[in-house]
Structure 1
């Protein structure tokens, strides 16, 4: 091929390439604009009882449509929030403020934008809570009545609005007299058994709105008790029918323990202390507080409960009964409770149930609606032959538990199959679970619990984590649970405890090397993980909040764990604080 031909081919190739390039550029220019606007990604901030919605303005958008939804509950199957439409608005740019919203509610916003010819897809925000710093502290319900209690200070409460979702039932208003207000509670009667109620407090008898709002609380009335049906005809004893003097010492009588029968029910009087000593269970038994608007009956243990040798017990149950150690009822000269002033990591040295080589098996051990306070340990098996198949803490407050742990196999191979903490508040504890060994596969389930000041703070070693599991192949499930900081110790040494005080050196959660740990929708405050040498002991999968316990809860140093911080999810932690 001569030189002229080669030159001609090269010129033609360049011309074709340039023609393609110009054509491609020209094609780009004729593609047109995007068919949609970008959706506005918004965030919510609560200020008093308003929600401020902010976003980056979208190029080309001339209008933003916002729809506000109120959270009405949680889907029991999916755990997701249930919403109802509340109001809507439109504006030309960020931000937008929804004003005069209801206190103690959660809201979500759906936002989109548009122009004369385009619109965006809808963006859905996370939930935001509008929390009122309420003086209402608790509700206690029986089958036909509820007691609403409050603290001193804040707005005076003059009326309670009683509402329910039952169709056809209208809200009613219960006035609060001066004497009732000063006593710190009001009793509301004529309620329907097994019904969920919401009680709204207001500071004005005539006007009930956001300006006179003074807090709200919910409660569910119970089913009317039928003890024959629960325990068998006549197989129960009602200590409410005894004088207070007789009842207080009844559970210290050795003859009483000899006369217990299988599946016996013991009905205790609310608001009364019962000393218990010399107890060794050898058959199924249930202790429960009878229907009352007073506080739970309280068992004051003088020594630990034992289990008979070689027996198999179907169930042991404590229902709505508080169980304090004999030390825990003390109040010092400054008015502080034992847990508040105690500095010993053993918290008095006592256990609720303590078994050593009995060769016994308890198939079901239940603590339901109990407050358990001031122990070195709660359930302790010390030998390979001490078996607790299923242990459950449901709706309990567990406070001031020492270095043996709430539940422990003491590094022995007793048979433990499930340990469950559901809807519990757990505070000021050294260790939660010590299961370095067990006879068979053990599952620990933690659901809807609130932890604070747990475990103990220490920089010495990792022998006091929240979950002491070592090489045991435990299955640990954590769901919808909140974790606050560790409990402080003097000089961070893990010996002298400082209750209701956050540890400065972080937390040690587990030393597990063989456990299967599953975490879902659970959060920790912004504490760090303690380093022992160059190693830390976290639980992976916990979502970290950007704030501390004092921003998350209303008054953790006072035992008040009402959520005031914005988690962005509903149904997290113990239900009494949500």
Structure 2
């Protein structure tokens, strides 16, 4: 009996010791460094824009807010340049999950700088306990920003236009080749508010590089050029002046590169005009008024006298012609001409704008840039009447072309390159048979079309992309990246790889009947900001 009592006592003692040890085992102190929230499972970039970044991350259990810290020191975070606090109760899940830690949020962070390497770190906070999570860290780079929206060129100055922002301080104009800074201009409060400033005292026809800064950060870079011909002699043309006379006076003084400068709203009645002998380059250059209106020239026809010519330029002018005439007709054997350029101009009422006869003619480029062309007859905007002339490049960019009869171009020889980019084509009352007409025995060497819009019911008629079956030739013309509306009916030859906009011309544009082709913001158009003439991308309101 005594032994039994001793054994019971030993068992009791061991039990007490065992439970005491168990209490000690489960009562370890908590390491403060681990007493925190779990980190987000993910922190990643959805899209990096010039002045913003969209980040995705996951929900953190018990987090009341998320803190994002940005630096520019490659994940060192020695100097935080931006801190953003995002409250959890303001977030809407981008992708919800039954497992809360897999619920995805997305947040856009704005007012960043372009062309900048950023580091961002994120942590979550429980406000009631003060507990925080560990860091998620990420490195990304923003692309170059383009704050400039346009510019207005004059022979002696450039007016720069940008999206108004209070984060701009300086404009710089430099030589594009040497990068030498020619003008550095501190922006006034008024210039900052209006988003406009002028570089003064420049020379005509010169290319420059313009940049806009916020302190040391570049917010926009744009290649710009003053109007006119480089080194050209400027002639101020008054209403009623005889062009031949004023040009001959300049030639008699030894000038051969001339800039005809037009201003004001009174129309210039210029009729049919032949450029006098002795001129090797000529620019018809207008000065837009404060409202952007262009000088109006009633000019039916322009012809050359000399066989050798450098540049023939029309810029910042509105030209109305004679529907029965070619605006520029070149038909003399031995003619050599560098460039025919139409820039920032409106041209209307011609049989054809550039017509080359089937003669020994050698031209480098015919370029249409930022133009509006309306009511051109059946010969096409450009017409090359045979296989004899040579032309290296024919280009239409950032332009709007309306009511074209028959075709955009009729080309009967092997041009080196044709490019049509960011143009808007609309025919409402006129019927166009095909966009491009060619001679299958002398096909173009290269045709590229990018980001165009084809719209209108084409006067009730169907239209072809080309005048022939592309499949029967070696020429491949793709309209990938361009759009066509549902009311423009295709005839036999389709626009290869084009995207069909599921709507009519009147659903795509705000007021096409009144030549307002601003894209309707409610149209759901996928090419907004990419396709068509950029002047119509966004409303000015």
| Length-normalised TM-score, structure 1 | 0.55
Structure number with larger C-alpha Rg: 2
Q: CA deviation at 1:392?
A: 0.4
Query: Matched residues in 1 for 2:336 and 2:223: separation?
Result: 32
Structure 1 distance, partners of 2:386, 2:525, is 37
Partner of 1:115: 98
Shift of 1:273: 2.2
| Segment drifting more, 520-529 vs 362-371 | 520-529
Q: Considering Cα pairs closer than 8 Å and 6+ residues apart, tell me whether 1 or 2 has the greater RCO.
A: 1
Give the match for residue 450 of structure 1: 424
1:322-366 residue CA offsets vs partner (Å, 9 max, x unmatched) = 2111x5xxxxxxxxxxxxxxxxxxxx2122101223431221111
1:575 aligns with 2:534: yes
Residue 558 of structure 1: how far off its partner (Å): 0.7
Task: State the 1:317 CA deviation.
Answer: 1.1
Cα distance 1:523–1:264, how it changes in 2: closer, same or farther (>3 A)?
Answer: same
Match of 1:383 in 2: 358
**Take 1:435 and 1:417, find their aligned partners in 2: how far apart are those partners?**
16
Give the whole-Å Cα distance in 2 for the aligned partners of 1:110 and 1:171.
41
Q: How far off is 1:373 after superposition?
A: 0.8
1:229-248 aligned at under 5 Å gives the runs 230-231=230-231, 235-239=233-237, 247-248=238-239
Question: Distance in 1 between the 2:378 and 2:450 partners?
Answer: 25
Q: What is the CA distance between 1:538 and its match in structure 2?
A: 1.8
Q: In the superposition, relative to structure 1, how do residues 116 and 434 fare at CA in structure 2: closer, same or farther (>3 Å)?
A: closer
**What residue number does 2:452 align with?**
481
After superposition, the C-alpha distances for 1:172-228 in whole angstroms (9 at most, x for unaligned) are 6999xxxxxxxxxxxx6973545789xxxxxxxxxxxxxxxxxxxxx999979698x
Deviation (angstroms), 1:415:
0.7
Per-residue deviation at 1:141?
Answer: 4.6
Match of 1:284 in 2: 281
Structure 1 residues 144 and 478: CA distance shift in structure 2, 3 A: closer
Q: 1:419 maps to what in 2?
A: 394
Residue 316 of structure 1 is matched in structure 2 by 312
* TM-score (norm. length: structure 2): 0.58
CA 401–435 in structure 1, closer or farther in 2 if over 3 Å, else same: closer
Are the equivalent residues in 2 in contact too, given 1:524–1:543 (CA < 8 A)? yes
Answering whether residue 168 of structure 2 is matched by residue 166 of structure 1, we say yes
Q: Residue 537 in 1 paired to residue 493 in 2? A: yes
The answer (yes or no) to whether the contact 1:163–1:170 under 8 Å persists in 2 is no
- Root-mean-square deviation (CA, aligned residues, Å) is 4.3
Alignment partner, residue 479 of structure 2: 519
Secondary structure at the counterpart of residue 418 of structure 1:
strand
Where do residues 157-556 of structure 1 align in structure 2 (5 Å cutoff)? 162-163=164-165, 166-167=168-169, 191-193=197-199, 230-231=230-231, 235-239=233-237, 247-254=238-245, 256-257=247-248, 259-260=250-251, 261-276=255-270, 277-280=272-275, 283-290=280-287, 292-294=289-291, 295-301=293-299, 303-308=300-305, 311-325=307-321, 348-438=323-413, 440-453=414-427, 456-457=430-431, 464-471=433-440, 472-474=442-444, 475-488=446-459, 503=460, 505-512=461-468, 513=470, 514=473, 515-531=475-491, 536-556=492-512
The runs of 5 or more residues in structure 1 that have no matched partner are: 1-64, 74-81, 91-108, 124-137, 149-160, 176-187, 198-218, 240-246, 328-347, 459-463, 489-502
Partner residue in 2 for 1:152: none
The unaligned stretches of length 5 or more in structure 2 are 1-41, 60-91, 107-148, 171-186, 200-209, 214-219
Aligned length: 371
1:86 shift after superposition: 10
2: CA distance, partners of 1:425 / 1:248? 29
Q: Distance in 2 between matches of 1:226 and 1:530?
A: 40
The secondary structure found in structure 2 opposite 1:231 is coil
**8 A Cα contact 2:450 2:482, kept in partner:** yes
Matching residue within 481, 506, 516 for 1:560 = 516
How far apart are 1:262 and its partner, in Å? 2.4
